[in-house]
């Protein structure tokens, strides 16, 4: 089923371009959204939870169905666990709860299937195209907006995140989409001096904070740059709008922050310390050199994108810095900040993807209209084709429409019939076993005789997975 969906998703891209060429803008962006959804839905039909972060997010979301204010990995505090550990703990605060609540809702509606874990990200990641298109049209024109939306739709890394195939997956998808939504409202706030738009931007920023916490604050410098650019002589009004934005965000994000600090103080403190340790320690062998994200640009966005960004800075930005500064900040601030961190993962700078798509869209339009002579026109239009085809190649590589994945784990159906107070040892896939079955706790290793005796005395059944 995944292959036809992927092929249809890619087939819709030239249809969207044809509609765009014939000035049918609304239809073109609608087709792009459909294409983006199919490109995310196809890989989401993988029959297994993915090994990176997705299996943990899925298990915590499963437990949130019954106790939405208590994010748990190991559901029963009386079973052996490591307090504060993101991989072996009881209370799980490694990520804020918004994306996990949405996954829990999806599991409640569709059942405990891997594809149900991915439905919210696939839907949200596709609908975000409307916002990027609208923002591109407001900042530039319909042609730039179309190309930015197309590059967003086919971005292989975004597809991997939405389908759970790479680390950080669904929380980062929610973060990206909500930051984009907040900045869409922030641009409207600055352009129209709209207080309701300021409040809406703040609400969306608060929700983004509840998806991945501090990286969501990229909204503030970008919104401030728009306020300065649109309203250079209205400092009082600009301050009022910014205060409304920040206040709305705090009202959304603060209650959960205070709640977890009161309800789970030790775990909350450990989670906060772990987040900041990304800047000072090599966590789980993810230490990378300072230039890691800059070197990743060609792979994640196409080999010609670094050149397109440089020419954007040397051309449109240099000619009109006030107009283009917000988009440059949107891209540059995450890349600079996370380049300082010792621990680096590709998804840490995913919030900059819409800005990169917008800058590439500007250069696509510029190059397409470029050239007085035949040679310069051919060179410019070759650049346009490569700006689209190179990321499309990476997209095909990530979705692997013709690839086949060998099964990573097998959970015998008999485990679905065990009593809820069953503890399982020597299980090679403990997180997956707890997701699919009523097993209360599962471990890769064996437990000590004393631990087993205590569990049995408290009414638990202890079994080995090898049985």
Q: Is the pLDDT of residue 336 over 60?
A: yes
Query: Is residue 109 scored above 60 in pLDDT?
Result: yes
Span 63-69, mean pLDDT? Answer: 96
pLDDT given for residue 355 in this prediction: 98
Q: How confident is the model at residue 86 (pLDDT cuts 50, 70, 90)?
A: confident
Three-state secondary structure call for residue 463:
strand
CA distance 180 to 129: 10
Is residue 24 a contact partner of residue 139, using CB atoms and an 8 Å limit? no
Q: In this structure, are residues 222 and 186 in contact, taking their beta carbons and an 8 Å threshold? A: yes
Q: What is the pLDDT of residue 56?
A: 97
Mean pLDDT on 161-180: 95
Distance, first Cα to last Cα, the chain: 35
Cβ contact 201:219 at 8 Å: yes
Whether 437 has a pLDDT exceeding 70, the answer reads yes
350, 152 contact by CB (below 8 A): no
Residue 238 — pLDDT band, cuts 50, 70, 90? very high
The answer to whether residue 234 scores a pLDDT higher than 60 is yes
* Rounded average pLDDT over 149-154: 97
> What torsion, rounded to 10 degrees, do the Cα atoms 41, 347, 331, 242 define?
90
| Distance, CA of 260 to CA of 258 (rounded, Å) | 6
Angle, CA 242 vertex, CA 236 and CA 243 arms, to 5°: 90
Each domain of the chain, given as residue ranges in start order, spans 2-399, 413-464
Q: Which stretch of 25-39, 337-351, 379-393 has the lowest confidence by average pLDDT?
A: 379-393
Task: Give the pLDDT confidence score for residue 325 in this predicted structure.
Answer: 96
Least confident of 249-263, 270-284, 342-356, 395-409: 395-409
Check whether 231 has a pLDDT greater than 90: no
pLDDT of residue 42: 93
Q: Rounded mean pLDDT of 32-49?
A: 95
Tell me, letter by letter, the H, E, C secondary structure of 208-257. Answer: HHHHHCHHHHHHHHHHHHHHHHHCCCCHHHHHHHHHHHHHHHHHHHHHHH
Mean pLDDT, residues 130-153: 97
Query: Tens of pLDDT along 359-393?
Result: 999 999 988 887 555 677 788 888 889 999 999 99
Confidence of residue 232 (pLDDT cuts 50, 70, 90): low
Q: Is the pLDDT of residue 403 over 70?
A: no
The answer to whether residue 207 scores a pLDDT higher than 80 is yes
Within 10 angstroms of residue 84's Cβ, the number of other Cβ atoms is 21
Residue 233 reports pLDDT greater than 70: no
Rounded to whole angstroms, the Cα distance separating 105 from 111 reads: 10
Strands (E), 102-240: none
Q: Given this model, what pLDDT does residue 253 score?
A: 97
| pLDDT above 90 coverage of the chain, percent | 81
Give exposure, 376-397, as e/b (b: 16+ Cβ within 10 Å).
eeeebbebbebbbebbbebbee
Q: What's the pLDDT score for residue 371?
A: 57
CA distance 407 to 405: 6
Give the residue with greater pLDDT, 398 vs 17: 17
């Amino acid at each position: 089923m995944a292959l036809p969906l992927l092929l249809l998703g890619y087939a819709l891209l030239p249809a969207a371009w044809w509609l765009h060429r014939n000035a049918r803008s609304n239809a073109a962006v609608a087709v792009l959204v459909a294409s983006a959804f199919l490109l995310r839905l196809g890989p989401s039909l993988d029959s297994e939870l993915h090994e990176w972060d997705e299996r943990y997010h899925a298990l915590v979301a499963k437990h949130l169905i019954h106790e939405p204010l208590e994010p748990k990995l190991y559901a029963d505090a009386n079973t052996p666990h490591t307090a504060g550990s993101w991989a072996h703990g009881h209370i799980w605060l490694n990520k804020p709860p918004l994306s996990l609540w949405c996954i829990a809702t999806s599991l409640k509606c569709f059942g405990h299937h891997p594809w149900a874990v991915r439905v919210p990200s696939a839907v949200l990641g596709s609908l975000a195209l409307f916002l990027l298109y609208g923002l591109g049209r407001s900042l530039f024109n319909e042609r730039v907006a179309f190309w930015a939306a197309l590059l967003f739709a086919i971005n292989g890394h975004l597809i991997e995140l939405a389908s759970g195939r790479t680390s950080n997956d669904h929380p980062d998808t929610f973060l990206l989409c909500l930051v984009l939504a907040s900045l869409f409202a922030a641009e409207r706030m600055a352009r129209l001096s709209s207080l309701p738009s300021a409040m809406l931007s703040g609400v969306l920023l608060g929700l983004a904070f509840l998806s991945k916490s501090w990286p969501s604050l990229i909204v503030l410098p970008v919104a401030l740059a728009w306020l300065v650019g649109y309203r250079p002589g209205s400092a009082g009004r600009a301050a009022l709008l910014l205060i409304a934005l920040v206040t709305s965000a705090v009202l959304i994000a603060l209650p959960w922050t205070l709640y977890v600090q009161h309800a789970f103080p030790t775990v909350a403190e450990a989670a906060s310390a772990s987040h900041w340790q990304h800047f000072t320690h090599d966590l789980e062998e993810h230490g990378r050199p300072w230039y890691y994200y800059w070197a990743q640009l060609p792979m994640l966005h196409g080999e010609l994108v670094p050149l397109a960004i440089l020419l954007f800075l040397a051309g449109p930005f240099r000619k009109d810095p006030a107009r283009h500064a917000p988009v440059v900040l949107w891209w540059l601030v995450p890349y600079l900040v996370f380049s300082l961190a010792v621990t680096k993962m590709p998804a840490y700078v995913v919030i900059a993807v819409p800005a990169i798509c917008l800058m590439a869209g500007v250069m696509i339009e510029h190059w397409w209209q470029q050239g007085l002579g035949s040679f310069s026109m051919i060179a410019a239009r070759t650049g346009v084709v490569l700006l689209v085809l190179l990321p499309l190649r990476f997209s095909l590589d990530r979705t692997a429409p013709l690839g086949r994945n060998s099964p990573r784990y097998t959970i015998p159906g008999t485990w679905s019939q065990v009593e809820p107070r069953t503890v399982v040892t020597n299980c090679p896939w403990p997180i997956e076993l707890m997701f699919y079955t009523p097993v209360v706790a599962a471990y890769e290793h064996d437990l000590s005789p004393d631990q087993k005796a205590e569990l049995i005395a408290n009414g638990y059944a202890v079994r080995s997975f090898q049985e």
